[in-house]
Every structure is written in C-alpha cells, then in structure tokens.
Amino acid sequence: MVEIKTDAAMEAMREAGRVVANALAAAREAAGVGVRLRELDEAAREVLEAAGAGSPFLGYRPSFAPTPFPAVICASVNDAVVHGIPGGQRLRDGDLVSVDCGAKLDGWTGDAAISFVVGTPRPGDEELIAATHRALDAGIAAAVVGHRMGDISHAISTVAREARCGMPADFGGHGIGRQMHEDPHVPNFGRPGRGYPLRHGLTLAIEPMLMAGGRNDYRTDPDGWTLRTTDGSRAAHVEHTVAITEDGPRVLTLP
C-alpha cells in the first residue's frame, strides 16, 4: 500500500533526511587510507545518537538476508555494489567506497548514499561516480507530478546505458516514510509513461547503482548481504530521498 504524505510528514522527513546527510558526511570524513570500515560506521552512529535518531539499518532483516544487518551504514568497496557490511577491512589507496545510511527521527525515515574515492583515484572511477550522479539527477528531475514511475526508471537507465554501465537487475529504489522500504518499488529500468502515477506527497528513495563492466548480473557474498559485480568491475551507488510536490521534486536528504 502506498501512503501519500501530508506536508507536515514531508517536513518531518526533511529533518530525518538532514540527519542522514550529516551521518554520511561524518562517515566520509572518517574515511582514509588504513581506516577500518567499522570506523566509518562508528562515525555515522555518533551522528545518529547525537540527533536522537534511530537506525533503520541496524537489525534489519529482509527476506533474502541470513542474519540481521549489524551496522548503521552499508559500506561497499570497489566491486561491491551495495549492502556491504562495515567490518575490520582497512581502506587502501584508490578504493572506491559507497556508503549508504538511514535515519529514523520522530517516526519518519530518510535514506541516502554517497560514493567517493579514498586517496588517489584509479582511471575511470571518478567518471563512474559522475555517471552515477547524472543518473540520480536525471531520476530526480523526472520525479514530477503528472509523470509515472517509468519516467524516473527510464531517465536512470538512459544515463547508465549512455555511460555503458550495467545495473543490478533486481535492485532499485523504493517508497519511504514511516518505514525505510515502502511501496511503490522504484525500478532502475523502465518505460516512460508506464507504472505508478506520481503525485504530490509521494516520497521515494531514488538510487542508481552503476557497474563499470556494463553487465546487469551480480553475485552475493557468502555473508548473504554484499552484492558484487560478476566481472570484478567497480560499482558506484548514490541515493537521495525525494518528495514529489506540486512545486517540483524536493530532495530531503541534503545537509
């Protein structure tokens, strides 16, 4: 069931989104050569706690997962696309890191992700990240009243195709509000003019995941969580929580 949000609910989600942005900034600030992924998680956790926010990630267990998620961020490095668990792994020079974080504040949720390079970028990585941002921007630009879900999906997949990047076929964005994952699904592939009609008060997490090798398949690590490219190519993932309004798309996960 899709819940259309009141303007007050969207304002509350903006506050949750601000916490997410601050937590992501703290995780990025903590990142560096030799730093363990769990230190990024600790940095984000401190921001959530200071804001009085909960984590929709911690303890989350969707149907595909063998264990509850043990952290407040996902940290996915190099060929990991999404859902990486931030453990004892140390970052190395040139690593491409995607950090995903959520926050729940006063009953409302925000969800966003960033990708960045630690140290000296390898050839192609900054272009991959830039293309992923273009895909997100295109998806957000299509998130307007009167469009349909397929317009967002098509905008994202068009950018990915032009960049010769693949995207994991079964994963995309989602409705968001009281829960992190709500209806409707926001596919990263789709046909313009098709799908769920976009209207004022619909709040969506839009999240392109681009894989440099150009394939759309993926594999899952033995941990049951981490998604990786099958060809070992690198991946980037960026996400914003967006409210569709009569005044146009409003990004809720900005600082």
- The stretch among 107-115, 124-132, 133-141, 195-203 that binds Mg ion (CB under 5 A) is 107-115
DSSP string over 164-196? T-B--TT--EEE-SSSSSEEEEE-SS--TT-SS
- Give the one residue of 39, 79, 111, 182 binding Mg ion; rule: CB under 5 A: 111
- Give the one residue of 140, 202, 205, 238 binding Mg ion; rule: CB under 5 A: 205
113's enclosing H/E stretch is strand 108-117
Helix/strand/coil for 101: strand
Q: What is the Cβ-side half-sphere exposure of residue 251, based on CA atoms within 13 angstroms?
A: 18
Nearest distance from residue 123's CB to Mg ion, in Å?
28
Interface with Mg ion in residues 112-171 (CB under 5 A): 113
Query: 128, 96 in Cβ contact below 8 A?
Result: yes
Structural tokens at position 186: 């926001």
Report the alpha-carbon distance of residue 86 to residue 84 in Å, rounded: 6
- The stretch among 33-41, 140-148, 164-172, 198-206 that binds Mg ion (CB under 5 A) is 198-206
- The stretch among 3-11, 120-128, 204-212, 242-250 that binds Mg ion (CB under 5 A) is 204-212
Which CB, 47 or 113, lies closer to Mg ion?
A: 113
Q: Which residue has the tokens 């999906």?
A: 153
Nearest distance from residue 186's CB to Mg ion, in Å?
9
Site string for Mg ion, 236-255 (x = CB under 5 A): ---x----------------
- Give the one residue of 41, 100, 125, 151 binding Mg ion; rule: CB under 5 A: 100
Nearest distance from residue 120's CB to Mg ion, in Å?
27
Q: Could you say whether residue 182 binds Mg ion (CB under 5 A)?
A: no
229 phi/psi in degrees, rounded to 5:
-70, 150
Structural tokens at position 228: 């990786």
Pairing of strands 240-245, 203-206: antiparallel
Helix/strand/coil for 13: helix
Nearest distance from residue 187's CB to Mg ion, in Å?
13
Nearest distance from residue 74's CB to Mg ion, in Å?
7
| Contacts to Mg ion by CB under 5 A | 100, 111, 113, 205, 239
